[in-house]
Amino acid sequence: MTVHAIIGGTGLTELPGLTIDEAVPMETPFGSPSADILRGRYAERDVLFLARHGHPHRIPPHQVNYRANLWALKNAGAQAIIAVNAVGGIHSAMGAGHLCVPHQVIDYTYGREHTFFEGNIDHVTHIDFSYPYDEPLRQRLIAGLAAEGFLFSSHGVYGCTQGPRLETVAEIARMERDGCDIVGMTGMPEAVLARELELPYACLALVVNPAAGKTSGVITMAQIEAALAEGIVKTRAVLARALAS
C-alpha cells in the first residue's frame, strides 16, 4: 500500500488524529528539513507528516528548505505527497473557505533553490513538467471533497509568488490576466522537486482571503486566521477521505 506524505502549510503545523509512532530527525545533502518527519497512522493508513514552516510556524515561505524537505520525505519512505496550501482567491469563485485542487501552476518566485539537478552532476537533466500535479492523486482529493459535500473547484491555476509580503493590486491584476485563479507562496519549487524525485504530488489549496484588489478593504491577519480555523477542519476531513480511498 502506498505510503503518503502530507506536507502541512500555514494552519496545519500538526495533524490532529495522527497517531505518531516516531519523530524522525533527518539531515540531507541539502541541509535540515523544516521539522522532524512524523511517522504514524492517519485514517487507518501509514503516513508521514511534515510541517512546511516548522513547528511552531516560524519559517517564511522564501526561506523554506524545499530541497531538504522533499529529499527527507523520499528517504523516509514517502511514495506520494499531498500538499496542503493556504492561498488567496483571485477568481470570483474562490472566496474565503473555498477549496481548490489546482491542475496547473505559474511560478513567479526567484532566488529559491529549485532543482536537484545542479552542481557536480554527470549530465544535464530536463524533466517534463507540462502537467505539474499527479492526476490520479488529484482525483482522489476531488472525490474526497465531493463525498464531504464541500464547495470546491476541481481545477485551478496556482500562481506562486515570492513572499513573505502579500501582493499588490497591480500584481494580482497581472496574475489574473495570466490566468491564475489562486495565489500562494509555497507551491513552487515544491511541486517540481517532487517531480524530479518521481514522487506523485497533488495540492489541496484552502482559500483564506480574497487577493489584493478583490475586496474593498485591506487584508488582515484576523480574517486569514478565522478562515484557517474553519477551513482546516474541512481539510482534515478531505485528507482522511483521500487516504482511505
- Mark the binding-site residues for phosphate, compressed into ranges: 10, 52-53, 186
Helix (H) or strand (E) holding 29: none
Residue list, annotated binding site for substrate: 185, 209-211
Indicate left, alpha or beta for 54 from its phi (over 0: left) and psi (-120 to 50: alpha). Answer: left
Quick check: 51 and 5 in contact, CB under 8 A? no
With CA atoms as reference, report the closest residue to 96 among 84, 106, 86: 86
Angle between helices 135-148 and 221-244 (to 10 degrees): 110
Separation of alpha carbons 210 and 109, rounded Å? 20
Residue 214 cell numbers, joined: 478583490
- List residues forming the annotated binding site: 10, 52-53, 185-186, 209-211
H or E segment to which residue 169 belongs? helix 169-178
Give the residue among 70, 64, 188, 77 at the shortest CA–CA distance from 129. 188
